[in-house]
Amino acid sequence: MRRRAAIGLAVLALAGLPAAASAATPFEATRPTAIPATGGLIAIAGRTQLAGASAPNTLVDTGTVRGRPFGQGTVELAYTLHPRRDVASVAFTITNGRGTVTGVAYASYTTVRLGLIFTGAGRLTGGTGAYAGQTSGVLQFDAIHSKTGQREVIRLLGSTADPGGTAAQQLERYRGAIGGTKEPSP
């Protein structure tokens, strides 16, 4: 029962819906406590839906996002699931009228009755147009992928600076869990 309550709160947190003030979601426990002064805030949230499966164990989602520093745009995410390890590698692209930014994430995932919950770390790896050369420090990556393929949510939170520390170690742990250092291609 406790696990269901935590998952329910996680769904509310990702969807941006208010939860009881005394309840802490699993995402709050891992949220970066401070954005370094040398870097700008990255806070992106969006809604997606299943666009298809490009290969076995690969899901492709598309949707819309908004947040700092990119404003509004579209997003495409390709999740490659590694079921034996319950880890996924994710390549994503965010596009708007000013350019495109690409990134990667690595996340553990939990299968629940309603779908998959991803919790991990990622980073921006490059861009075009106004975002040419855009990179980031380690970002918190959270997503919920529903079994129906509808009303899914994602969130990226972090900084343009690279603070290292625990988040960087988490990113490397997930990358190592899938057996390699090759980044998924956007």
Query: Do 76 and 92 meet the contact criterion of CB atoms below 8 Å apart?
Result: yes
**Lookup: tokens for 171:** 């990113």
pLDDT at 60 over 90: yes
Chain position carrying tokens 């029962």: 1
96-151 confidence digits (pLDDT tens): 999 999 999 999 999 888 889 999 999 999 999 999 988 888 899 999 988 888 88
> pTM of the entire structure?
0.70
pLDDT at 53: 83
Considering only CA atoms, which of 180, 155, 152 is closest in space to residue 66? 155
